[in-house]
Amino acid sequence: MRLTNLPSEFQKALPILEKIKSAGYEAYFVGGSVRDALLHRPIHDVDIASSSYPQETKAIFERTVDIGIEHGTVLVLEQGSEYEVTTFRTEDVYVDYRRPSSVNFVRSLEEDLKRRDFTVNAFALDERAQIIDKFNGLEDLDNKLLRAVGKAEERFNEDALRIMRGLRFAASLDFDIEDATFQAMMTHAPLLEKISIERSFIEFDKLLTAPHWKKGVKAFKDSRAYCYLPGLEESQDKWDEFTAAYSDDFVFSSSEQAWAALLIALDVPAVKPFLKKWKTSAQFQKIVDALVSLYRFRQSEQLGLRQLYQYGRETIEVIEELRQAQGLAVDFEKIAELDQSLLIHDKHDIVVNGGMLMSELGIKPGPELGKILSQVEWAIVDGKLANKKETIFDFIANLDSK
């Protein structure tokens, strides 16, 4: 098969292939970029595989960087762009269900493609736009089927993260997982405990934010992969509720929104400790925690000025999007009106500060000063006090007289 229209990303990189071939070696575009071209999806990274060994690749190009030369990868800097050129290789025994103990450079494209995860990721594309398909990946692509290359048991035993990748591909591509491949996923799911949680987070996060996340979540549940990921061990009866809660066409707008929705569905009492187990950043934990808290508040309360001030309009709208997708009542116009009516959006917007109260009103530092500043802050937020110096001083004087 030939691509009738070679995407511009490949056209731009053609000189790389041509230079390698003119030096007497083979070179092809490989991997996900070829799959995405066939599916008419956006192309991100263009990867190149070559029969040239790393030192041979470096001899062909003037500017290169050794980014992973022990694994056969050389970064080629050409015409203002960067391209990873990786030598055809086979891999030795995997020592930790993630990384091979060693790699062996080879001259055979087919040997290189054999080590890849799924047939739809094992294509190669030459400079004439000809597709090389050694494992019936084109048929699987037509059938929207995800199938492991070769023996599925071997692929997942080599690298257990491929289980999470497969589930993510189901969600992003809207593909079904071939039966034998899925059975191997289920069998090898316990190996996920041996994979770094940061890696699993990346794949699961991509699954949750994918267009067909419901399909991915169903496969995730049916594979029982959740049993081997932190905090999800006892979540079996929650997954159907999670997917059923949202309209079929709803797609999460951000990772934070997706994880907040998940933790709400799982009824996780303490958000930050849960996400800490997944080794997420403190900032990510803070945002998701705020979203979950706000959602729970909205289950029984209406929004007011204090919520707009405390959480901010953007955070509130993220939660209201979730509520809207669940068929619950929302009012974005009211949110906008409340936000506009706020006199301040941050305590630093207040025209007075602690230093002024100490120097001009003689208030001593300590808990009492903090209490007064808090009373001023919330009075302004509630619209009961103008954000003006004289008015605030009068307000404080009246506090003293009470």
Q: Per the annotation, where are the binding residues for Mg(2+)?
A: 45, 47
Nearest CA to 235 among 259, 266, 204?
266
At position 236, the amino acid (one-letter code) is: Q
With contact defined as beta carbons under 8 Å apart, do 187 and 245 qualify? no
Strands 145-146 vs 131-133: parallel, antiparallel or unpaired: unpaired
Helices and strands (H and E) in the chain: how many: 20, 11
Alpha-carbon span 219 to 215, nearest angstrom: 6
Pairing of strands 145-146, 176-177: parallel
From 18, 8, 87, 90, select the one nearest 54 (Cα to Cα): 87
Q: What residue type is assigned to position 135 of the chain? A: F
Q: Specify which residues 76 forms β-bridges with.
A: 64, 83
Whether the CB-CB separation of 226 and 235 falls below 8 Å is answered with yes
Identify which of 49, 30, 112 has the alpha carbon closest to the alpha carbon of residue 57.
49
Question: Would you list which residues are annotated within the binding site for ATP?
Answer: 32, 35, 116, 159, 162, 165, 168
Binding-site residue numbers for CTP are: 32, 35, 116, 159, 162, 165, 168
- Binding site: which residues? 32, 35, 45, 47, 116, 159, 162, 165, 168
